[in-house]
Structure 1
Amino acid sequence: MIEKNIFEEINKKKLKLDELRPLSKETVKSLRESILLEWTYNSNAIEGNTLTLLETKVVLEGITIGGKSLREHLEVVNHKEAILYLEDIIKNEEAFSEWQIKNIHHLVLKGINDKYAGNYRDQQVMISGAEHIPPAPFLLKEKMNEFIKWYNTEAQYLHPVERAAMVHIIFAGIHPFIDGNGRTSRLLLNLELMKNGYPPIVIKNSNRLEYYSALDKAHTIGDNFDFISLVIKETNDMLDRYISLCSNNI
């Protein structure tokens, strides 16, 4: 059980950021470009993409890096397109749905594995380095239906940051796709944060062991505290970054 006072610091910072809004166009552009790059680089690096932060920036600008695979280039371009899609979802105030999740995943795997892009897996999978074993393929539809139902009922009583963390935990546990579940789960986490007026967070590649350990703990023994705490820390750090930049531009 997560104590409500754990969110006090976040609530104060969120209130402060709201008071600084609307942010200037220049500030919004600067933050958006910086975070889009860091989010794309780190989310791909966690999954084994070898492009550096600088190389990722260059690929986002439309330039090809010699000696790197087509897949690694596509992972960068696709992730950016997925983020743009999240922004459209928020702008249009679309309800959370299975269709939406499949669209996000389709963008993540587009041109990489078109057979499975946006389609649930038809075989059992193992998560490398984790004790948790995802549900069998024939259970996926039921599990995803339960996920959406949970989101529309119980989840709405949670603090938005806790809800975002739980969206990631539950989706990653179901692991409905053959590939791209990690990237999709981090996109869903940030979609939930952004919907509620929070900045997107970056789960850093340098913290991937802590990240994976907390996630596996949630999946195997049902202890979500470490993972939610990690999301809280990253949210606090990103709010600090936003407030600092915005305060300096007043």
Structure 2
Amino acid sequence: MKKCIIIILLSYKENMKFLDIDKKLKKYSEIKLSKELLKDLREDLIIKWTYNSNAIEGNTIDMYQTKVLLEDGITIGGKTMKEHLEIINHAEAIKYIEEIVSKNIFLSEYEIKNIHNLVTKGIENIDSGKYRDTQVQIGGANFTPVPPYLVKGKMEELILWYKESNLHPIEKSSILHGEFIKIHPFKDGNGRTARLLLNFELMKSGYPPIIINKEEREIYYKTLDMGSVTGNWEDFTEFIAVKADERIEYMNKFKEEEIKINNMK
């Protein structure tokens, strides 16, 4: 029997928020930034995305150390091999996301396993790229992920929903992230993988990737937990919408400066 993911539709207010965000996204769509600036912005994104996504999970390597490790290959004294691998692996996973987006590769269980394999490569006792075969419990969460024998079926349901969904990209990416966390298909690395999947969907749909900051961990976990318990992803989607709006405004500032520069020529 075909199963489905039950989604509670967003309010009129939230749908209007999407319209406002889309207007900002399209406002300077024809303005092209220089290759040099795009390169700098990409490097900055990889460092901040990698640092924050790992810091949310408890990695103690700071922003500057992340930059040094990724750009210069200098190891950080007093930090574990696991923490080093988490930083290096995440940066590689971002590059893989960029690649599959550029090739217009559709999301599948195969690609999700590939992403998880990159995120956790070389880290012991995780079974990179393989669904878990044991029960897990998320510390502090008010829901329990499905038992291991249901993981495969739940992931198939999630991918089927994803293929058939026509939701706005911000809502779709939010629910994809949330339902993935609710299943928790891997032993470890689920959070980082989920945030990569969220940005995959945004990037595929023409939106810039977002960065969920370490300082936002409380509201991030609170809204994620609420959605996992109730099946209502409205609060979590609203949080992601705010982050998408912030990132678009950030990118638009550079485009506004580009317009000023061109007008002075």
TM class by smaller structure: over 0.9
Deviations 1:23-62 (A, max 9, x none): 3212211211111111000000000000110011111121
Q: Which range is displaced more, 228-237 or 4-13? A: 4-13
Of the two, which has the highest radius of gyration?
Answer: 2
Superposed, 1:168-187 pairs within 5 Å as 168-187=177-196
Distance 1:174 1:23 in 2: 40
- How far apart are residue 102 of structure 1 and its match? 0.1
> Structure 1: where are the runs of 5+ without partners?
none
Partner of 2:161: 150
Whole-angstrom distance in 1 between the partners of 2:126 and 2:179:
24
8 A Cα contact 2:120 2:126, kept in partner = no
Structure 1 residue aligned with 2:75: 64
| Offset at residue 79 of structure 1 (A) | 0.2
Indicate yes or no: 2:53 matched with 1:53.
Answer: no
Q: Deviations over 1:171-218 (max 9, x none)?
A: 111100000000000000000001111110001110101100000000
Q: Given the alignment of the two structures, is residue 129 of structure 1 paired with residue 133 of structure 2, yes or no?
A: no
Query: Aligned pair in 2 of structure 1 residues 15, 116: CA closer, same or farther (>3 Å)?
Result: same
Counterparts of 1:65-104 in structure 2, within 5 Å, are: 65-104=76-115
For the pair 1:201 / 2:223, whether they are aligned, the reply is no
* Cα distance change of structure 1 residues 24 and 114 upon mapping to structure 2, 3 Å threshold: farther
Question: Taking structure 2 as the reference length, what is the TM-score of the superposition?
Answer: 0.91
Indicate conservation of the 8 Å contact 1:79/1:107, yes or no.
yes
Could you tell me whether the CA contact under 8 Å between 1:103 and 1:118 is conserved in 2?
A: yes
Partner of 2:36: 26
The ranges of structure 1 where at least 4 consecutive aligned residues each deviate by more than 2 angstroms after the TM superposition are none
Q: Which moved more, 1:105-114 or 1:231-240?
A: 105-114
1:159 aligns with 2:148: no
Q: Using a 3 Å threshold, how does the CA distance of structure 1 residues 193 and 17 change in structure 2: closer, same or farther?
A: farther
* Cα deviation digits, residues 43-102 of structure 1 (max 9, x gap): 000000001100111111211111111111110100000001001101111111000000
Over the residues paired in the alignment, what is the CA RMSD in angstroms? 1.1
2:230 matches 1:221: yes
The amino acid across from 2:229 in the alignment is T
The corresponding residue for 2:247 is 238
State which of 105, 113, 135 in structure 1 corresponds to 2:124. Answer: 113
Report the equivalent of 2:4.
Answer: none
Query: How far off its partner does 1:221 sit?
Result: 1.2
TM-score by length of 1: 0.96
Residue 13 of structure 1, aligned match among 24, 27, 30: 24
Select 2:197's aligned residue among 179, 188, 191: 188
> 2:212 corresponds to which letter in structure 1?
I
Flag the 1:17–1:164 CA change in 2: closer, same or farther, 3 A: farther
Does structure 1 conserve the Cα–Cα contact (< 8 Å) formed by 2:174 and 2:240?
yes
What whole-Å deviation, never above 9, does each CA across 1:85-121 have from its counterpart, x for those lacking one?
A: 0011011111110000000000011011365100000
Which whole-Å CA distance do the structure 1 matches of 2:242 and 2:29 have between them?
19
Structure 2 unaligned runs (5+)? 1-8, 260-265
CA–CA separation in structure 1 for the residues paired with 2:23 and 2:124 = 43
